[in-house]
Amino acid sequence: MAEKNTIWDPLRKKHVALTPEEHVRQWFIGVLADNMLVPMHMMMSEVGFKLGDKPFRADILVYDRKLKPMIIVECKRPEVELTREVLDQAVRYNLVLDVQMIIITNGHKTFICRKTDTGYGFIDTLPKYEEII
Protein backbone atom coordinates (compact mmCIF):
# COMPACT_ATOMS: atom_id res chain seq x y z
CA MET A 1 0.00 0.00 0.00
CA ALA A 2 1.32 3.43 -0.95
CA GLU A 3 2.20 6.06 1.60
CA LYS A 4 0.37 9.37 1.52
CA ASN A 5 3.33 11.41 0.25
CA THR A 6 4.28 9.14 -2.64
CA ILE A 7 3.34 8.81 -6.30
CA TRP A 8 3.40 5.78 -8.58
CA ASP A 9 6.18 5.91 -11.18
CA PRO A 10 5.06 3.66 -14.04
CA LEU A 11 8.57 3.59 -15.46
CA ARG A 12 10.34 2.50 -12.27
CA LYS A 13 7.26 0.46 -11.32
CA LYS A 14 7.25 1.62 -7.72
CA HIS A 15 6.01 4.38 -5.46
CA VAL A 16 8.46 7.25 -5.05
CA ALA A 17 8.53 10.30 -2.80
CA LEU A 18 6.20 13.00 -4.10
CA THR A 19 8.56 15.95 -4.31
CA PRO A 20 7.70 19.00 -6.45
CA GLU A 21 10.21 17.84 -9.10
CA GLU A 22 8.79 14.30 -9.03
CA HIS A 23 5.31 15.72 -9.60
CA VAL A 24 6.61 17.48 -12.74
CA ARG A 25 8.41 14.30 -13.87
CA GLN A 26 5.28 12.17 -13.52
CA TRP A 27 3.16 14.79 -15.29
CA PHE A 28 5.61 14.86 -18.20
CA ILE A 29 5.70 11.06 -18.45
CA GLY A 30 1.97 11.42 -19.10
CA VAL A 31 2.62 14.10 -21.74
CA LEU A 32 5.11 11.83 -23.50
CA ALA A 33 2.70 8.89 -23.42
CA ASP A 34 -0.53 10.78 -24.24
CA ASN A 35 0.64 13.58 -26.57
CA MET A 36 3.74 12.14 -28.24
CA LEU A 37 2.40 8.57 -28.09
CA VAL A 38 5.68 7.26 -26.67
CA PRO A 39 5.23 3.63 -25.57
CA MET A 40 5.86 3.28 -21.82
CA HIS A 41 8.45 0.56 -22.44
CA MET A 42 10.51 3.03 -24.51
CA MET A 43 10.99 5.44 -21.57
CA MET A 44 13.05 5.31 -18.37
CA SER A 45 13.16 7.75 -15.46
CA GLU A 46 16.13 8.65 -13.25
CA VAL A 47 18.68 7.09 -15.61
CA GLY A 48 22.21 7.10 -14.22
CA PHE A 49 25.28 7.66 -16.39
CA LYS A 50 28.78 9.12 -16.08
CA LEU A 51 30.31 12.16 -17.70
CA GLY A 52 34.00 11.60 -17.15
CA ASP A 53 34.25 10.37 -13.56
CA LYS A 54 31.19 12.30 -12.38
CA PRO A 55 27.83 10.51 -11.99
CA PHE A 56 24.67 12.16 -13.32
CA ARG A 57 20.98 11.25 -13.64
CA ALA A 58 18.69 12.11 -16.52
CA ASP A 59 15.12 12.72 -15.35
CA ILE A 60 13.54 10.96 -18.34
CA LEU A 61 15.10 9.29 -21.37
CA VAL A 62 13.11 8.21 -24.42
CA TYR A 63 14.61 5.46 -26.57
CA ASP A 64 14.24 4.54 -30.22
CA ARG A 65 13.46 0.99 -31.37
CA LYS A 66 17.15 0.05 -31.21
CA LEU A 67 17.21 1.23 -27.56
CA LYS A 68 19.42 4.22 -28.35
CA PRO A 69 18.51 7.33 -26.31
CA MET A 70 16.79 9.90 -28.53
CA ILE A 71 15.19 12.39 -26.10
CA ILE A 72 16.43 13.78 -22.78
CA VAL A 73 13.85 15.44 -20.54
CA GLU A 74 15.15 17.58 -17.67
CA CYS A 75 12.46 18.33 -15.09
CA LYS A 76 12.64 21.13 -12.54
CA ARG A 77 10.42 22.13 -9.63
CA PRO A 78 7.63 24.52 -10.70
CA GLU A 79 9.28 27.52 -9.01
CA VAL A 80 12.60 27.00 -10.84
CA GLU A 81 13.03 29.37 -13.77
CA LEU A 82 14.05 27.67 -17.01
CA THR A 83 17.28 29.52 -17.71
CA ARG A 84 20.22 28.99 -20.04
CA GLU A 85 21.92 27.10 -17.17
CA VAL A 86 19.09 24.54 -17.07
CA LEU A 87 19.38 24.02 -20.83
CA ASP A 88 23.17 23.80 -20.54
CA GLN A 89 22.75 21.02 -17.96
CA ALA A 90 20.80 18.90 -20.46
CA VAL A 91 23.24 19.78 -23.25
CA ARG A 92 26.12 18.52 -21.05
CA TYR A 93 24.24 15.25 -20.56
CA ASN A 94 24.02 15.05 -24.31
CA LEU A 95 27.81 14.87 -24.59
CA VAL A 96 27.36 11.30 -23.34
CA LEU A 97 23.88 10.42 -24.61
CA ASP A 98 23.86 12.01 -28.12
CA VAL A 99 20.10 12.49 -28.48
CA GLN A 100 17.98 14.15 -31.17
CA MET A 101 15.85 16.22 -28.78
CA ILE A 102 16.30 17.99 -25.47
CA ILE A 103 13.26 19.02 -23.46
CA ILE A 104 13.31 21.10 -20.28
CA THR A 105 10.18 21.69 -18.21
CA ASN A 106 9.07 22.99 -14.84
CA GLY A 107 5.43 22.04 -15.33
CA HIS A 108 4.47 25.61 -16.27
CA LYS A 109 6.83 26.16 -19.19
CA THR A 110 8.37 23.63 -21.54
CA PHE A 111 11.12 24.23 -24.08
CA ILE A 112 11.82 21.72 -26.85
CA CYS A 113 15.09 21.69 -28.78
CA ARG A 114 15.73 19.51 -31.81
CA LYS A 115 19.15 18.65 -33.21
CA THR A 116 20.04 20.42 -36.45
CA ASP A 117 23.11 20.37 -38.67
CA THR A 118 24.57 23.29 -36.70
CA GLY A 119 23.49 22.48 -33.13
CA TYR A 120 19.99 22.69 -31.66
CA GLY A 121 16.97 24.76 -32.60
CA PHE A 122 13.83 25.45 -30.61
CA ILE A 123 10.56 23.99 -31.89
CA ASP A 124 7.02 24.89 -30.82
CA THR A 125 5.27 21.53 -30.62
CA LEU A 126 6.06 18.03 -29.53
CA PRO A 127 6.23 15.70 -32.53
CA LYS A 128 4.75 12.22 -32.33
CA TYR A 129 7.14 9.42 -31.39
CA GLU A 130 6.65 7.73 -34.78
CA GLU A 131 7.70 10.95 -36.57
CA ILE A 132 11.11 11.09 -34.90
CA ILE A 133 12.26 7.49 -34.70
Listing DSSP states for 10-67 in one string gives TTTTEEEE--HHHHHHHHHHHHHHHTS---GGGEEEEEEEEETTEEEEEEEEEE-TTS
Question: What is the model's pLDDT at position 17?
Answer: 96
How many other C-beta atoms lie within 10 A of the C-beta of residue 96?
Answer: 15
Q: What is the CATH number of the domain that holds 43?
A: 3.90.1570.30
Please indicate, yes or no, if residue 1 is contained in any of the structural domains.
Answer: no
Question: What is the model's pLDDT at position 71?
Answer: 97
Question: Residue 39 belongs to what domain range?
Answer: 6-132
Q: How many domains does the chain have?
A: 1
Segment 55-67, tens digit of pLDDT: 999 999 999 999 9
Stated as kind and residue range, the H or E segment containing 87 is helix 84-97
Segment 29-57, tens digit of pLDDT: 999 999 999 999 999 999 999 988 999 99
